[in-house]
């Protein structure tokens, strides 16, 4: 008679390792953990950048100018809340800092956007451009006396044509040119 094992035909199956038993949940949890940590790192970087930008003198000076301007208060309906800055560019070269930014403004009556271009050479910020673009299309210049600027942002108010009659008649177009459009 052949020898038999003490357990008989019901010998226990060797137990599998941890990875063999748990890979189905360990892989997705590991991948989600990696993606989550990337999102957390990005959120921390954006929050740190936003906080440091809000503490920058150009931002605080521009918001203060807009809040104190009576034309902006009238157009936006009193006090407003500045939103998350967009289109921000800040560079510093040889002790000279240049900043450009747009800040949405949320007022009770209307919304607008604060546009600013500033330079810092030393301690003080000097604004080259500072105006509020109201959602109805009007612009309020904060560098001058708060007057509303013309709606065309490409033409500075110093370069606008005079209302007087021109001294020379306009140039005449040559006839017969296929590129000319006559209306």
Can you give the chain as a three-state secondary structure string?
Answer: CCCCCCCCCCCCCCCCCHHHHHHHHHHHHHHHHHHHHHHHHHHHHHHHHHHHHHCCHHHHHHHHHHHHCHHHHHHHCCCCEECCCEEEEEEEECCEEEEEEEEEEECCCCEEEEEEEEEEECCCEEEEEEEEEECCCCEEECCCCCCEECCCCCCCHHHCCCCCCCCCCCCCCCCCCCCCCCC
- pLDDT of the residue at 143: 85
How many residues would you count in the chain? 183
- Flag whether the pTM goes above 0.75: no
Q: What local confidence, expressed as pLDDT, does residue 30 receive?
A: 92
User: Over its length of 183 residues, how does the chain's per-residue pLDDT go in tens digits?
Assistant: 566 555 566 767 788 888 888 889 989 999 999 999 999 999 998 888 777 777 788 888 889 888 898 988 888 888 888 888 888 888 888 888 898 999 999 988 889 999 999 998 878 888 999 999 998 888 889 887 444 544 544 444 443 444 444 444 444 444 544 444 444
CATH code for the part of the protein at 57-156: 3.10.450
pLDDT, residue 35, reads 95
pLDDT of residue 173: 46
> What's residue 164's pLDDT?
46
Extents of the domains making up the chain: 26-55, 57-156
């Amino acid at each position: 008679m052949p020898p038999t094992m003490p357990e008989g035909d019901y010998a226990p199956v060797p137990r599998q390792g941890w990875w063999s038993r748990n890979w189905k949940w360990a892989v997705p949890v590991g991948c989600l953990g990696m993606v989550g940590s990337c999102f957390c790192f990005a959120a921390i970087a954006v929050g740190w950048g936003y906080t440091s930008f809000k503490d920058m003198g150009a931002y605080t000076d521009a918001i203060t100018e807009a809040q104190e301007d009576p034309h902006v208060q009238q157009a936006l309906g009193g006090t407003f809340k500045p939103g998350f800055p967009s289109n921000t560019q800040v560079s510093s070269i040889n002790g000279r800092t240049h900043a450009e930014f747009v800040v949405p403004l949320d007022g009770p009556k209307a919304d607008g956007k604060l546009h600013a271009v500033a330079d810092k050479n030393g301690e003080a910020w000097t604004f080259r451009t500072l105006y509020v673009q109201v959602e109805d299309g009007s612009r309020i210049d904060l560098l001058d006396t708060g007057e509303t600027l013309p709606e065309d942002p490409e033409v500075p108010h110093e370069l606008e044509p005079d209302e007087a009659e021109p001294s020379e008649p306009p140039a005449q177009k040559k006839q017969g040119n296929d590129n000319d459009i006559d209306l």
